[in-house]
Amino acid sequence: MRLYLMTWVVFALTAVHEITAMTIVYPEMLESRAEDGLKMVKISDDITLTLRSSSIFSEEFFIHSTRDGVPIAYHMSGPETEKNLYHDEERMATVHLSDEDGLNIEGVLGDTLRIKPAEGMERSLDGQVPHTLYEVHYSDEEGDPRHDYGVPKPNATDVTPESRLIFNMGLRIPVLIHPEVYVVVDYTICHAMKFKIKKIARYVAIMFNSANLRYRSMVQPRVQLTVVGIKVTNTASEEPYMVQVEGHAATRNILYGPTIDKFKDYVAQQSYFVSCDIIWLLTGKNMSRWEDKKLIGNSGGFAFVAGVCTKWKVGMTEERYGSYYGVFVLAHEIAHSLGCVHDGAKANAWPAGHIGSADCSYDDGYMMSYKYISPNMYRFSLCCQREVLNIYNRPQYDCLIKRIP
């Protein structure tokens, strides 16, 4: 595949501030229908979920890990792994629900509300399992638009990329695009989950299914992410791409610009990443950058614009285990990888034929802005949808057409 040399593009998003407003609730099942999988669950007097079965994994996938330093691969069944995954599209909720030993629910209930079983608490007199309902609050600090874009620096000796060539094929209107994503979960997050394979897979499922609820707003083309693999990081030595900030080990700061560059090189050396459309690093580190000799830590995510299918098909987002605060950032950043810039932004010089989003207002508060205006904050603008269709129709991006068997 022939491409220009491209410098990195930064997308800085807000970081989580704190978790507060915890309440104990006792969810109860109001209705469960075997024929269509629908479940109605009362979380509290104010919240009732209408849940339907979700799917985020491919039919079969591998979880790569290590045992005593030796690589090991677990062959997983997608339907089995996600059998307890549900969503309520109206409430933008994704939960893992199990009723084998009482009703246990964990996951995302909209933008900032979360739920999980309350460890160490006794059940109610009628046997209901206590759960913690809690709010995740974000920093008021917005990402700095000055750091949204690096400048591509084409090398005169590079061959013209395929996307710059004139081609006569007609516009393809896909029924549904399934970008296939391989998720690398870093040591910090895996350690927080005690390296339990199923628990890590469940967390990834909730994160990416929550992102998919936002992608349901795309109409032309329709887009739904598919997770085709997970890397569980068992030791810090397995992530040589992490660029630590000297003197900031206690706060887990990394420099995300150099980190993503090294991660891209790492990905190129692993055979199991070759056929994936996007490889995503989910990190529990604090993504940071130096600016005027100050360490700035308000960056929640990074991606290369239109990096999907190319050697720049990598991206990363922050996540604090248990908060799921990275859901918005995850959906936003993957849209960058699929070609979208921020609403209101002009076209990029790379890839050739990039349209941009100058005719969509940043202030409307869709997914590709930082305005967080409901309900637009759960939706993608028409400009972003147009760009994804544009990328899909370029021969350089034919990985979006092909599926992993």
What pLDDT score does 147 carry? Answer: 52
What pLDDT score does 18 carry? Answer: 54
What pLDDT score does 38 carry? Answer: 92
pTM of the model as a whole: 0.89
What pLDDT score does 22 carry? Answer: 87
What pLDDT score does 166 carry? Answer: 39
- Does residue 390 have a pLDDT over 80? yes
Contact 18, 137 (CB under 8 A): yes
Q: Which of 20-24, 132-136, 199-203, 330-334 has the lowest mean pLDDT?
A: 20-24
Q: Between 49 and 176, where is the model more confident?
A: 49
CA–CA distance, 279 with 297 (Å, rounded to integer): 23
pLDDT, tens digit, 9 for 90 and up, residues 91-135: 999 999 999 889 999 999 999 999 999 988 999 988 899 999 999
pLDDT, tens digit, 9 for 90 and up, residues 213-263: 999 999 989 999 999 999 999 999 999 999 999 888 888 999 999 999 999
Whole-number average pLDDT of the chain: 86
* Residue labelled with tokens 């460890």: 119
Residue environment code for 235-244, b if the CB has 16+ CB neighbours within 10 A, otherwise e = eeebbebbbe
pLDDT, tens digit, 9 for 90 and up, residues 266-291: 999 999 999 999 999 999 999 988 88
Question: What is the SS3 assignment for 259?
Answer: helix
Task: Give Cβ neighbours of residue 10 (< 8 Å, ≥ 6 apart).
Answer: 147, 148, 149, 150, 256, 257, 289, 299, 302
CA–CA distance, 200 with 208 (Å, rounded to integer): 12
Q: Which of 180, 239, 318, 333 is catalytic?
A: 333
DSSP β-bridge partners for residue 53: 86
Domains of the chain: 10-16+140-400 (3.40.390.10), 17-54+78-138 (no CATH)
| 147 annotated to a ligand binding site | no
- Does residue 356 have a pLDDT over 80? yes
| 131 annotated to a ligand binding site | no
| 336 annotated to a ligand binding site | yes
Q: Between 360 and 173, where is the model more confident?
A: 360
What pLDDT score does 405 carry? Answer: 53
Q: Is 333 a catalytic residue?
A: yes
Closest to 340 (Cα-Cα) out of 373, 315, 306: 306
